[in-house]
Amino acid sequence: MTDDHEAVRDLLVARSFGALDPADEQTVRTHLAGCAGCAAQAARLREAVRLLDGPPLNAPAQPADSALSLALRTRPAAARAAGHAAPYAAAVAGLKALLPELEGRWSTPVVHDWDAHATVAHLLAADEHLAGRLGIAPRVPPSRIEEGTPWEEAWNRRTADVIAHEHGRTPQETAADWAAQADALLATDEARDAELAARAVTLMGMRLPVADHFLVRAFEAWVHTDDIGRAIGLAVPPPPQEHLGQLVRLAVRVLSLSLGPAAPPVLFSVTGGAEWVLGSDAEPVRAELILDPVDFCLLVGGRYAPEAVPRRTTGDAAAVRNVLERAASLSWL
């Protein structure tokens, strides 16, 4: 296994969080001793985890030994964001840190029919919906979308228009506009004030507080950063535990609303976290479903098929399948 780069790289994220068992730790150490590429990636991941977990505001600057650590150390908006916007600030920092790794690889296929350039352009389009509600001017010419167009169709058409526009520019220009728009979002009063962020607005067919829409933006930025990382062979750390918990709770609320009160009740929990009864509260629980929190987020994000997501279950298999299929159907990413 020490010669299997892919297998070792799959362990590097867990190692960066100190979560390897002794046998795997020894395997990774042996491999890193003879593989400069994997050793460099391990160092980048350790730095990413350290900084994404939130360095003290008065912490002295550390020497920058990679584009990854430099981008994370210089994220100005993250320290100013309130708790509801902190996951988005961290996700933005993570993608900024990954962007230098794309030089010469912008045409790499990533997800759907998008290359890396189009994926960043999609995020530019996706973020502008919340940005517009918060008074931030769009950076791409408007689309001709008739009033009353269903939100899914409008969403897809706007993404297609933005991607087409951005493919006429350089990837660096697209990335710069995405980053500038993200920074503008994080500089809004709503990103810093939980009371202002409590007002509800409708975006993507969902009426949620602005605070929750910031979490939706964090969710999408992280998933697409992970998409890009996988496409170019770099492991992207999951969100810090606190942020991951916020994303899970939001996803559970949306899933619960989607299932409605008539669905067969299932006791759902994430490993090491809280538990919820999804579906009807008028009858006994029919089944139990336990998912890893990252796997749950990837399922909701459309990165797992319902039958493929790792899980532990007991009870009514049909009730569990209903929850998994509904969770996977929520994906708009």
Asked whether the whole model's pTM tops 0.85, one would answer no
Residue 200 burial (CB count, 10 A): 12
Q: What is the pLDDT of residue 29?
A: 80
The reply to whether 259 falls in a domain is: yes
Question: Are 253 and 295 contained in the same domain?
Answer: yes
- Do 207 and 254 belong together in one domain? no
* Residue 70 falls inside a structural domain: no
Within-domain flag for 67: no
In this structure, are 232 and 314 located in the same domain?
no
| Domain-ending residue, one of 11, 28, 57 | 57
**Residues 261 and 187 both lie in one domain:** no
The pLDDT score that the predictor gives to residue 60 is 37
Q: Are residues 2 and 49 in the same domain?
A: yes
Domain count, the chain: 3
153 & 275 share domain: no
| Within-domain flag for 63 | no
Q: Return the pLDDT at 286.
A: 97
**Does residue 64 fall inside a structural domain?**
no
CATH of the domain at 104: 1.20.120.450
317 in the same domain as 299: yes
Domain contains 42: yes
The two three-digit tokens of residue 291, written as one number: 């998912």
Q: What is the CATH number of the domain that holds 252?
A: 3.30.1050.10
3-state SS, the chain, equals: CCCCHHHHHHHHHHHHCCCCCHHHHHHHHHHHHHCHHHHHHHHHHHHHHHHHCCCCCCCCCCCCCCHHHHHHHCCCCCCCCCCCCHHHHHHHHHHHHHHHHHCCCCCCEEECCEEHHHHHHHHHHHHHHHHHHCCCCCCCCCCCCCCCCCHHHHHHHHHHHHHHHHCCCCHHHHHHHHHHHHHHHHCCHHHHCCCHHHCEEEECCEEEEHHHHHHHHHHHHHHHHHHHHHHHCCCCCCCCHHHHHHHHHHHHHHHHHHHCCCCCCEEEEECCCCEEEECCCCCCCCEEEEECHHHHHHHHCCCCCCCCCCCEEEECHHHHHHHHHHHHHCCCC
Residue 69 resides in a domain = no
Q: Kindly state whether residues 80 and 217 are assigned to the same domain.
A: yes
- 281: containing domain: 247-329
Examine the domain organization and report whether 144 and 280 are in the same domain.
no
In a 13 Å sphere around the CA of 236, the CA atoms on its Cβ side amount to 26
Q: What pLDDT score does 256 carry?
A: 94
Block means of pLDDT (10 residues each) for the chain, 333 residues, are 56 58 74 77 58 38 39 43 92 94 96 96 96 95 91 91 97 97 96 95 88 96 96 91 94 92 96 92 95 96 94 97 95 68
Would you state the structure tokens that stand for residue 164, as one six-digit string? 């087409």
Residue 313 lies in a domain: yes
Q: Are residues 85 and 227 in the same domain?
A: yes
How high is the pLDDT of residue 64?
34
Residues 84 and 141 in one domain: yes
Same domain for 163 and 87, yes or no, is yes
Please identify which residue in the block is written with the tokens 């979308």.
145
